[in-house]
Amino acid sequence: MAKKSLVALAKGTDIQENVTRVFDLMGGVTNVIRKGSIVVLKPNAGHAEPPETSVCTNPEVVRAVVREVKKAEPKKIIIAEAAAIGCDTLECFKVSGIEAVANEEGVELKDIKRDQDLVNVAVRGFRSNIDHLKLPRFLMEADHLINLPILKAHASMVFSGALKNIKGVVQDKVHMQMHQQNLTMAMMDVWSACRADINIMDAMHAASGYSPHMPVPIDTNMVLGSKDPVAIDRVACEVTGIDTTCVDYFRVAAETGLGNYDMDQIDVVGNTIEECYKKMWIPYIGDMSTRWPEYDVKCEGACSSCQALLAINMEELKAVDEYDKNAGMTIVIGGKNEIPKDIPDGKIVLHGNCTKKYLKDHPNAYWILGCPPNEPALYLTVQRKEVINGMGDQEEEIIRPCMARDAAVWREYVFKAADKYYEEHPDEKA
Ligand code: SF4
């Protein structure tokens, strides 16, 4: 029988108390961090968004972890990140408030994207086509890597926690490569090459709604800790009411041997799941085939990632007033669909690598590559009647300007939807 994984749960509004308690429940910081060691903290600072948006790890959680780790008298603490494609890590550190914390606490900040001293690391038993990774030497030589994700709903993955956050240790070239194939497998391959030994999850103000681009923060007031990234993600789902059967990557992660998924293989210590329970609004879960009856949505065989992307993109079409104008189009996600031959190619959008095969009968349909594709690719393709998949210069020239243009109406739309949801579910309101 596999060894049980321990997940520490601490609930309360005092961040430092929560973080200290979580380390204590994991055996005490002086037992989990070696004196004189080099410790790298990997927060989520992937976008230039301020703390109140819950896009990045709360800087006060980062500070609390730094202060806790200092008790173990490490030689050095480094905060490191490679921001999302097209984002400047240093700007993300600044806007997220993490730069100020690093300066005040006297710890070093490192932008993985700018790091030149890389080592080639083989990925044993790789599942995607990533058989080796170039990773920063400082990361590979660190004694401890503390993964510091924020809990959030996520358009490409349904939800994002410890497993997804480690994706941010690679530079843009690999990041791009990961998005062009099976992202879940690629994420697991990154974990195989670069495994965090401790995961501390910021769930103080988890991001519900159409996160990561338009999150609706809620007061979850928790910090979680574990050495097992699968177990901590599983417990995070349990405390926020996320149906884990709707998150495909758990199965892959458990199969890869990264950690325990089954609750009977996990010991929750500290506060109980019941004491911490706070349901998150995650609109990426549910029946996608009937949700937009004005469109012909075919989604047989679709992974949870593409279902989540379908949800955000269809709602974004509504927000920018393009939904009705394009009604009647056929949207295809997943590889188990039948597409009648009499549907004109110009009315069909094929979303994702597994839909490429339908080009055989519909060679001029709009095929968006990626597994899953770029987050706003679907709504932009429908709106512009040209394939927008983020390849080449599209990210800089089309995707970012369009997202900036649409941000205000999308924000208004999402917050109205949140108000409506919480009116209908008053017991879940923060
Ligand atoms: S492109 Fe296909 S295989 Fe890839 S995530 Fe989407 S549905 Fe799954």
Q: Which atom of ligand 1 is nearest to the CA of 183?
A: 5
CATH homologous superfamily of 5-276: LarA, N-terminal domain (3.40.50.11440)
pLDDT reported for residue 182: 78
Cα dihedral across residues 285, 273, 45, 419: positive or negative? positive
Structure-token match 């994002």, residue found: 160
Q: Separation of 349 CA from ligand 1 center, angstroms?
A: 14
Ligand 1 pocket test target in 248, 353, 355, 369 with most atoms within 8 Å of CB: 353
Ranges of the chain whose pLDDT falls below 70 = 1-2, 180-181, 429-430
DSSP state of 314: H
Q: Whose CA is nearest to atom 2 of ligand 1?
A: 354
Global pTM value: 0.90
Q: What is the pLDDT of residues 231-283, one digit of tens each?
A: 999 999 999 999 998 888 888 888 888 999 999 999 999 999 999 999 999 99
pLDDT reported for residue 430: 52
Structure-token match 């008053």, residue found: 426
pLDDT reported for residue 69: 98
Give the residue extent of every domain in the chain. Answer: 5-276, 296-419
Q: What is the pLDDT of residues 325-375, one digit of tens each?
A: 999 999 999 999 999 999 999 999 999 999 999 999 999 999 999 988 988
pLDDT reported for residue 426: 78
204-213 burial, b at 16+ Cβ within 10 Å, e below that, comes to bbbbbbbbbb
Q: Are 42 and 81 in contact (CB under 8 A)?
A: yes
CA distances from 226 to 108, 162, 414, 417 (A): 24, 10, 33, 34
Ligand 1 pocket test target in 183, 305, 350, 389 with most atoms within 8 Å of CB: 305
Q: Whose CA is nearest to atom 4 of ligand 1?
A: 371
pLDDT reported for residue 319: 96
pLDDT reported for residue 230: 96
The pocket around ligand 1, CB under 6 angstroms, is made up of: 182, 302-303, 305-306, 333-335, 352-354, 371-372
- Residues forming beta bridges with residue 201, ordered by sequence position: 224
Alpha-carbon distance 57 to 212, whole Å? 12
pLDDT reported for residue 221: 97
Q: Which atom of ligand 1 is nearest to the CA of 352?
A: 1
Structure tokens at 139: 């990361």
Ligand 1 pocket test target in 303, 337, 357, 378 with most atoms within 8 Å of CB: 303
| Angle value at C-alpha 181, between 372 and 320, nearest 5 degrees | 25
pLDDT reported for residue 130: 85
Alpha-carbon distance 293 to 184, whole Å? 30
In 198-253, DSSP assigns E strands to: 198-210, 214-217, 222-226
Q: Whose CA is nearest to atom 3 of ligand 1?
A: 354
In 117-249, DSSP assigns E strands to: 118-122, 132-136, 144-148, 150-154, 158-160, 198-210, 214-217, 222-226
What 3-state DSSP class applies to 242?
coil
